[in-house]
Chain A
Amino acid sequence: MKRLNDVLAEQQSMSSVVGLTDVFEGLASMRIAQVKDQVLSSQHFFNELWTIYSQIRVNKQFSYGRGYVPPEVNKELLIAITAEGGLSGDIDQKLISWMLSTYDKDKQDIIIIGHHGALQLAAAGIPYKRYFKLPTHDNNINVSPLISLVRLYSSTVVYYQSYVTLMVQDIKKIELKQAIEEASKKASHTGKVISDENYIFEPSTADVASHLENTMMQITLTQTILDSKLAQYASRFRSMKNASEKADDMMRDLKREYNRTRRFIADERLKEVINGLSKIGAPS
């Protein structure tokens, strides 16, 4: 049987754990709501840009912001977005295994985002071109260094974690150009044409189209990173919820143990009193 003071101390520390997990749970759900708002707002911005782009681009292929210059590297670029820390369960492992199942080092190069994925690639002995830290903040994510690499390659595929619901996260892959065209389906298509005949361009139509392609790639990549972060927050939220429920159960057990210990001590004292009384009252 534990001492009453020990049970009390354990109960107090468990109550702090319950409080902390509740705070973390609240923080995770708040960040989920913030990220969702950001994705919606950037989608609106993207739609406006796509509307202009689709009016300028007449029979022209999406060229990853390179203009008419061919790609420098005739390979496919694979980008994997993983978690920074190791508290993401096995979802990163699944993501890396999926990417490596079709990986061909002669035809593909890898860029890894997130320390967790980099560790797994290193453990598998797979070299990667560049490593980026997963941004800690959700606002103004700077993807320019990533875009400058994407522009060098003939095509780009992104592997990432996706938020389905608060309790379900999935892994997905997208081809960047296809993802931009997918996202553009939500934009309005007026069918009007913007050309040198009805517009003044500064510096030129091609430069404006390349700039729009760059910006749309940045938005799409940022949205993919945000989706990954959303999935990670949801996963953390789920862990915190489970931990909070477990801590509540332990709190109940400790309360029961505390009451049992208190009763045991009271019983012991009563026994001692009765024994004492019986000794005093016993005939010599």
Chain B
Amino acid sequence: MADQTKTLKVKVASPYQVYFDEPALSISGVNKTGPFDVLPGHHNFITLLQPCELVIRMNNNDQRKVIRINGGLMHVKADMASVFLDV
């Protein structure tokens, strides 16, 4: 069970718009291998995203932000997950 008090900074942006830029408990997406979750303390990670719904869990009350994407790139480093959406 993951530590529910720790957060990671999540930023989801396209070249012309920032869709989300806040701390969150987790972010989930889909890459070539399948669905995956990123939690605080995740290893450094770069992945290409498939068209999917990005699900960001914002707090323990199960408040979620869902962003439908066509693809992109996720970069995870030092409790910061940046998603660069395809143009």
Residue numbers of A with Cβ under 8 A of B are 38, 41-42, 45-46, 48-49, 52, 56, 139-140, 142-144, 194, 198-203, 207-208, 211-212, 215, 218-219, 222
Contacts and interface: CB of A to CB of B under 8 A. Distances in A.
Contacts of A222: 15, 87
Nearest to A221: B87
Interface in B17-55: 17, 31-33, 43-48
Interface of B: 13-17, 31-33, 43-48, 73, 75, 82, 84, 86-87
A123 B67 CA distance: 48
Contacts of B82: 48
Interface of A, secondary structure class, is helix
A208 B13 contact: no
Contact of A203 (B14, B32, B45, B86): B32
B47 A202 contact: yes
**Majority DSSP secondary structure for residues of B touching A:** strand
A201 B47 contact: yes
Contacts of A42: 15-16
B73 A140 contact: no
Given A139-B16, A194-B46, 18 more contacts: A38-B16, A41-B16, A45-B13, A49-B84, A52-B46, A52-B75, A144-B87, A199-B43, A199-B45, A200-B44, A200-B46, A200-B47, A201-B46, A202-B32, A202-B48, A203-B31, A211-B48, A219-B15
B20 to A, nearest CB: 14
A203 B13 CA distance: 21
Contacts of A48: 82, 84
A142 B86 CA distance: 10
A44 B73 CA distance: 16
Given A48-B84, A52-B75, A215-B87, A200 B16 contact: no
A45 B75 contact: no
Given A48-B84, A215-B87, A219-B87, A41 B46 contact: no
A144 B84 CA distance: 16
B78 to A, nearest CB: 12
A208 B16 contact: no
